[in-house]
Copies of this chain bind each other. A is one copy, B any other.
Amino acid sequence: MDIEKTKEYFRQMLRRKDFMALKEEMSKLAVQDVAEILNQMDEKESLLAFRLLPKDKAAEVFSYLSDKIRTAFSQMIEEDELKSLVEDLFFDDKIDFLEEMPANVVKKILQRTPESERRLINQFLQYPEHSAGSIMTIEFVDLKTDMTVEQALCHIRYTAPKKETIYTCYVIDQQRHLLGAISLKDLVLADPSSKIEDLMDKNIITVRTDDDQEYVASLFKKYDLLSMPVVDRENRLVGIITIDDVVDVLEEENTEDIQKMGGISPSEESYLSQSPITMAKNRLLWLIALMVSATFTGRIIQKYEDLLQTMVILAAFIPMLMDTGGNAGSQSSTMVIRGLALGEIRTRDAFKVVAKEFMVSIIAGISLAGLNFIRLIAIEKVSTSIALVVSITLIAVVVMAKVVGGLLPLLAKIVKIDPAIMASPLITTIVDAMALVAYFNIAKLFLKI
């Protein structure tokens, strides 16, 4: 499907006031595609098209609209219409919406919500960001142990339209304690007269409302789950998390890691919707920190000013040594940061990591130095002693860079700092300083200055 063409078609239909044709076209599209087009249209046009959607599809489309368009809608439409729209949303989408809206809109909606639901909404709004509680929903199927399969299926049929998933059902007692789970597949396959108690799986993986969403995602990955129950401290079932939300969490966490590794304070907004001022703010902190720390390397150069003055040629190789060190170090830190994020490396593997990085750095360092020596002699035509100094420094730099690059993310993890921070920008600055000290000392030693 071509979004651009369909958007153009939407506009034409609106201009011609051919609402029937537009309605027809929208009924053929997936809700996500309708939302994508409405997001890109003018707010008034967008609302006009949105109002043509049937009630059930409208709620679904609404949950995929951008915050910008949703805020615009909620300021353009009447309170009654807004209320009935919000009522049709799934509970987790409702919470998402309320979290993003300005306070006056939230107040307007909550005022007209019945007391019991209002209390529940307020409870959900209080779950910390990135916690299991903040991504769960309450629309699950709950069964009782003494139901038969037939009764359970009947209960599911009756309640299904309001549930986000019916493919895993949860078994609870009178006090809502979680006792087990059963898949719709097993229910469909079972003898209708058998008891839920005998069929349910009692070994279920659960999370707490305050568990981190990254931990939740790792369990979904490991156990190939479609949904997972969330319980409180007393093991009472309070909600479920579904795989579609976990996929979003995974991408969000990956984006966060990548941004941190690039020396940027993470942001959940998309690139094009961030203002230049916010972007500059998210990047300045690291730039300033790294600029200030980079001045140490300047101090080192100043300290060896006399050496440089007698052999200016040495300055020519500073960028190459610094860059190669920075690259070698960031390769190692990248591998270790990712290994830690995927759970492939644990802190107790620190020794193995250092040993491995040392081995790799010896192989890589000697190969690079050899190649570099030939290049310096044959192409750059420098003296053998200079070529030797540069090449020996290169080995030392690669070894230091890789060991430090491998070790720092692990140390970060041990002291409970996010390892993603120990990526390229920071490693580069640290390795630069070490490379310069090594370079000047090796030069002094070999050139006898």
Which A positions have Cβ atoms within 8 angstroms of B?
A: 28-30, 32, 153, 156-157, 160-161, 166-167, 184-185, 188-189, 203, 205, 220-224, 226, 243-244, 246-248, 250-251, 254-255, 257-259, 261-264, 270-272, 276-277, 279-280, 283-284, 286-288, 290-292, 294-295, 297-299, 301-302, 305, 308-309, 312-313, 315-320, 322-324, 326-328, 330-331, 333-339, 342, 344-345, 349, 352-353, 356, 359-360, 363-364, 367-368, 371-372, 375, 380, 398, 423-425, 428-429, 432, 436
Contact = CB atoms under 8 A, between A and B. Distances in A.
A323 B286 CA distance: 12
A254 B326 CA distance: 22
A226 B251 contact: no
B188 A263 contact: no
Given A188-B156, A290-B323, A320-B297, A330 B280 contact: no
Nearest to A30: B223
B298 A317 contact: yes
A312 B262 CA distance: 32
A425 B332 CA distance: 13
B428 A291 contact: no
Nearest to A31: B223
- The SS class assigned to the A binding surface is helix
A259 B334 contact: yes
A96 B68 CA distance: 45
Nearest to A28: B203
Nearest to A245: B224
A203 to B, nearest CB: 6
A342 B255 contact: yes
A351 to B, nearest CB: 12
B320 A356 contact: no
Nearest to A156: B188
Contact of A295 (B224, B264, B320, B432): B320
A360 B272 CA distance: 12
Contacts of A280: 360, 363-364, 367
Contacts of A316: 298-299, 301-302, 305
Given A223-B30, A334-B261, A287 B324 contact: yes
22 contacts: A32-B224, A156-B188, A157-B188, A157-B189, A167-B167, A167-B185, A258-B338, A259-B334, A270-B342, A271-B335, A271-B339, A276-B359, A283-B360, A287-B398, A290-B323, A292-B375, A301-B316, A318-B319, A319-B432, A323-B428, A323-B432, A327-B428
Contact of A330 (B160, B166, B263, B336): B263
B255 A258 contact: no
Contacts of A428: 323, 326-327, 428
Contact of A320 (B205, B226, B291, B330): B291
Contacts of A356: 271-272, 276, 279
Contact of A352 (B248, B272, B301): B272
A356 B345 CA distance: 38
Contacts of A327: 263, 286-287, 290, 425, 428
Contacts of A248: 221
Identify the 6 closest CB pairs spanning chains A and B, nearest first: A262-B334, A276-B359, A297-B319, A271-B339, A280-B363, A224-B244
A221 B252 CA distance: 12
A381 to B, nearest CB: 12
A191 to B, nearest CB: 11
Contacts of A222: 32
Contact of A315 (B250, B291, B301): B301
A297 to B, nearest CB: 4
B301 A318 contact: yes
Contacts of A156: 188
A338 B153 CA distance: 45
Nearest to A420: B258
Contact of A363 (B277, B297, B317, B334): B277
